[in-house]
Chains A and B, each alone.
Chain A
Amino acid sequence: MIQSRDSVKDIWGERKPYYGEWPERVDQNLDAEPDNWVKSACVLCSNGCGLDIAVKDGCIVGVRGRAEDRVNHGRLGPKGLHSWVANNSQERLTKPLIRKEGKLVETTWEEAMNLIVAKSKEIIAKQTGLGIGFYTSGQLFLEEYYTLGVIGKAGIGTPHMDGNTRLCTATSAAALKESFGSDGQPGSYTDLDTADTILNCGHNIASQQTVLWSRILDRLAGPNPPKIIVIDPRTTFTAEKATVHLAPRVGTNIPVLNGLLNLIIQSGNIDQDYIDQHTVGYDELVKVVSKWTPQRVEEVSGVPQSKLKEAAALLAQTKTLVSTVLQGFYQSMQATAASVQVNNLHLIRGLIGRDGCGIYQMNGQPTAQNTRECGADGDLPAFRNWSNQQHVSDLARIWNVEVDKIPHWAPPTHAMQIWRYAEQGSIKLLWISGTNPAVSMPELARIRKILNKDDLFVIVQDAFMTETCEHADIVLPAAIWGEKTGCFTNVDRTVHISHKAVDPPGDARSDLDIFIEYARRMDFRDKDNKPLIKWTDAEGAFEGWKACSKGRPCDYSGMSYEKLSGGSGIQWPCNEKYPNGLRHLYIDGTFNTNIDYCESYGHDLETGAAVTEQEYKLQNPNGKAFIKAADYKPPHELPDDDYPFMLTTGRVVYHFHTRTKTGRSKELNEAAPDAFVQISEADAAGLGIADGDMIEIESRRGKVIEPARIGDIEPGLVFIPFHYGYWDKPGRLRAANELTITEWDPVSKQPHFKYSAVKIRKAGQGILNKIENVIEDVATAVNLKL
């Protein structure tokens, strides 16, 4: 083992103090000296660290960070350094599986694809494409999403296509569209190298993006360290380093943000010229936030007035600011409305479009940006506006199909609604790729029930036998990172190419090959009776995408596989004007809000009602950013006598998603082998709970049993990490989403994972309870295997 450091113990690695230019530090983890290195990037979070894959005798034997890469300057985090071992796991799926007499058995690609095609045609004949839904991922490659997008929209003609990105970054896209007219992160990671202040909103960056946090730790150790403001109800690793830590009650992000905006406006430290020249809606903001005095904020959120004032003073005076927003906002009450307030903060202070000033409406997954860009989620490709007839016509021209083939009568169906249609029986075929909804969706008992419906044909395309595969009618074995070539884009718009390093195991195929094969067998045609999908490989798909993205905000037309392979990451837009990409968007204060260019006419932040074209014309933003105000609405489910605690869910540093990869690394698994419930000292004492005791947590929707971990959380609140399911530990109900609530943000449609009212008690009190638990556990285990 050739390891540059023990990243499990030393998560963020050695400090390289700096200001200005982030020094290099190359991290690596190798099992053996490789024969050759293959250029790629990391897929274990949204950061997109450049790395090389080490190959020996046709096997992956390790990874090494790339020093010249603009994202990581050589560094890799624990997940990236260890998860490549999953590629070599003996548990990889190597053959298609088909359900026969209730059991999944091995089959051939021929039989599996024949059945999928026959089912598809049967359903389309009866119900049109409206009977088919796709639920994809934030972890395929750009070329795969784009191909899937074309198949769904111009082949089948179904609006039912979304990704698990709905659960993680839908609010990111929604907040950017509401404020700036289109998706696309305004900033660049280089902003962190000089920023005076960093604001983390519901973003535990130290655990989520460990390499990005190293960059901040190195700044903190250097000259002119930045001030850090953290908004998070828990004392996370990130919060521990904060200059000011605001810990609001769950569901009260709007009061805190409105309180901060109010104090900033009152201090007079606004950029009135910027507001006048580059925004609309400021007066309404002043009206709404003026009601949020520090006293009222404290009453509603529990954040002390003195802390709010301290944070507001920093934000009012700072000359540069980087803000990041993630699940603490996105998966909570008023998700889009709260995230938009962070955009407002930058707009009223004019802190956008220049070095040191970045807004990151963060992504969670490595390729989530591409799901959104390519139209494999609830968007049209290249940030086109589904309610703009010209945009839809453009797509029809590019794909050479009739414009009415493309569903555009309403926004593409969001994931929560796709599942609802499946539950009601109007979607008969659900094709799931690269995601594990049986652990990651809210209210798992309901999800299992839907997956098990007799009238729903479920296809699951994955690398491992996930909890979701257990319910499938067909399982397709997928090749993963390192076994196929493709591109993906990180959260600061940096595009990397990841080359194929080794062959996939057994008969596993890339998602791209599977989709292309499906299109061929379905015989999708264009207007001239030529095959709809014009490419047969990843580079061909990328060329197709370049043409589709040309002239749009996410313009890839100046890139090529050769160019991407020659360097180490290029930011979009990359075109004739910016052949090497562009560090910041909105440099001149012109936003993507022109009516002919914008991705969306926007929404009523409270109801989610779509703004019409006529109403948008009246607002006449024409390149100005929107400042949209929002007043507070309490969460729908609050603690009461029956369910007196609030549950929130989140991540741990060593795992990604449902642990399909990270759980197969010995080091990562040993570092965090099981779920737990975090509870405050006061509540633990009140209930007689000691560290490590088994605790039963019950909501109106389900029950789990977890060991207790005491401290670093506000009283009244408990926390369970969402990573843990049943594939490696079927005995005990432990998935946090057994408890979570089925409801979502009215604008972004992102589910509310961050609050559920629960009751808790020590598990196994009394022999009857014990017996009851054992029976339930066995029943659950049996049910899961059905």
Chain B
Amino acid sequence: MHIGTYIQLVHQSEKDLAKAFHYVAEAHKAEPDIFGMSNTLAGWSEELYNKLQPMTEKYGKEDDSEADRLLHAFFDQKRKGSLSLLQDLQDLWLMANEANVSAIILGQAAFGLRDENLIALCEEIEQKSKRQAAWLLTRIKSSAPQTLIAAS
């Protein structure tokens, strides 16, 4: 059984996502909407992380090197100017989608285990990560032309 691996993956991805949202909020403080909303959405991930905690105890967790590979690969601190906002939002979008698909996978197993709590939790993570990604995409779409064409 590898359920522990995926519990760990989802658990860690929410932790990383919260960290990443906080990082983007700070790095782009001068964008008032980015600052406020990124911190709000970091809060969603922190809450989900806490809700998952009892599951890691119930099923045990298996440490897995897959877990926070994205956080390490993303958010190159050398990024500069308005392009950096676009690139950072793109990284966040990928992480939110990673959280989303991990929750779908874990959710399938939760059905197999008939664990109502885990099913509900996976559904919540799926919904929340989808909304996080939707906000990111809305923001990315509106700033892309200005960043790529008009900004110096």
B1 within 8 A of A: no
A420 within 8 A of B: yes
CB-CB contacts of B113-152 with A at 8 A, as 1s and 0s? Answer: 0000000000000000001101101100110111101111
In the complex, chain B residues whose CB is within 8 Å of the CB of A159: 145
Q: How far is the CA of A127 from the CA of B33 in the complex (A)?
A: 25
- Are the CB atoms of A604 and B135 closer together than 8 Å? yes
- Are the CB atoms of A607 and B41 closer together than 8 Å? yes
Q: How far is the CA of A742 from the CA of B29 in the complex (A)?
A: 11
Interface size class of B (residues with CB under 8 A): 20 to 34
Cβ 8 A contact of B150, one of A130, A633, A743: A130
Given A416-B32, A607-B135, A426–B150 Cβ distance below 8 Å? yes
Residue of B nearest to A421 (CB): B146
Cβ 8 A contact of B134, one of A424, A607, A633: A607
Interface positions of B (Cβ within 8 A of A): 31-33, 36-37, 40-41, 82, 131-132, 134-135, 137-138, 141-142, 144-147, 149-152
Please count how many residues in chain A sit with their CB below 8 Å of the partner chain's CB atoms.
Answer: 31
In the complex, chain B residues whose CB is within 8 Å of the CB of A427: 150
Interface of B is mostly: helix
- Are the CB atoms of A608 and B135 closer together than 8 Å? yes
Interface of A is mostly: loop
Residues facing B in A743-768 (CB within 8 A) are 743-744, 746
A243 within 8 A of B: no
In the complex, chain A residues whose CB is within 8 Å of the CB of B137: 609
In the complex, chain B residues whose CB is within 8 Å of the CB of A612: 134
Q: How far is the CA of A607 from the CA of B134 in the complex (A)?
A: 9
Cβ 8 A contact of B141, one of A410, A606, A743: A410
- Are the CB atoms of A744 and B131 closer together than 8 Å? no
Q: How far is the CA of A743 from the CA of B152 in the complex (A)?
A: 25
A364 within 8 A of B: no
Residue of A nearest to B41 (CB): A607
- Are the CB atoms of B134 and A128 closer together than 8 Å? no
CB-CB contacts of A414-441 with B at 8 A, as 1s and 0s? Answer: 0011001100111100000000000000
In the complex, chain B residues whose CB is within 8 Å of the CB of A281: none
What 20 additional pairs, Cβ within 8 angstroms, besides A127-B150, A421-B146?
A128-B149, A128-B150, A411-B142, A424-B82, A424-B151, A426-B82, A426-B146, A426-B150, A426-B151, A426-B152, A604-B135, A606-B40, A607-B37, A607-B40, A607-B132, A607-B135, A608-B37, A608-B138, A609-B131, A633-B40
In the complex, chain A residues whose CB is within 8 Å of the CB of B131: 604, 606-607, 609
In the complex, chain B residues whose CB is within 8 Å of the CB of A742: 32
- Are the CB atoms of A609 and B150 closer together than 8 Å? no
In the complex, chain B residues whose CB is within 8 Å of the CB of A743: 32-33, 36
Closest 6 CB pairs of A and B: A609-B134, A130-B150, A410-B142, A607-B135, A609-B135, A426-B151
Residue of A nearest to B85 (CB): A424
Interface positions of A (Cβ within 8 A of B): 127-128, 130-131, 159, 407, 409-411, 413, 416-417, 420-421, 424-427, 604, 606-610, 612, 633, 636, 742-744, 746
Q: What are 24 A-B pairs with beta-carbon distances under 8 A?
A: A130-B145, A407-B145, A410-B145, A413-B142, A416-B32, A416-B33, A420-B31, A426-B82, A426-B146, A426-B147, A427-B150, A606-B40, A606-B131, A607-B40, A607-B132, A610-B134, A610-B138, A633-B40, A636-B36, A743-B32, A743-B33, A744-B32, A744-B33, A746-B37
- Are the CB atoms of A127 and B138 closer together than 8 Å? no
Q: How far is the CA of A143 from the CA of B134 in the complex (A)?
A: 37
Q: How far is the CA of A421 from the CA of B134 in the complex (A)?
A: 23
Q: How far is the CA of A560 from the CA of B106 in the complex (A)?
A: 63
- Are the CB atoms of A609 and B33 closer together than 8 Å? no
In the complex, chain A residues whose CB is within 8 Å of the CB of B152: 425-426
Given A410-B141, A744-B32, A131–B40 Cβ distance below 8 Å? no
Q: How far, in Å, is A72 (CB) from chain B's closest CB?
A: 40
In the complex, chain B residues whose CB is within 8 Å of the CB of A420: 31
In the complex, chain A residues whose CB is within 8 Å of the CB of B141: 409-410
Most A-side CB within 10 Å, residue of B131, B132, B147, B151: B151
Q: How far is the CA of A260 from the CA of B102 in the complex (A)?
A: 40
Q: How far is the CA of A426 from the CA of B150 in the complex (A)?
A: 5
Q: How far is the CA of A608 from the CA of B141 in the complex (A)?
A: 13
Residue of B nearest to A411 (CB): B142
Q: How far is the CA of A127 from the CA of B41 in the complex (A)?
A: 34
Q: How far is the CA of A606 from the CA of B146 in the complex (A)?
A: 25
Q: How far is the CA of A606 from the CA of B82 in the complex (A)?
A: 25
Most A-side CB within 10 Å, residue of B36, B135, B141, B146: B146
Given A424-B82, A744-B32, A744-B33, A131–B150 Cβ distance below 8 Å? yes
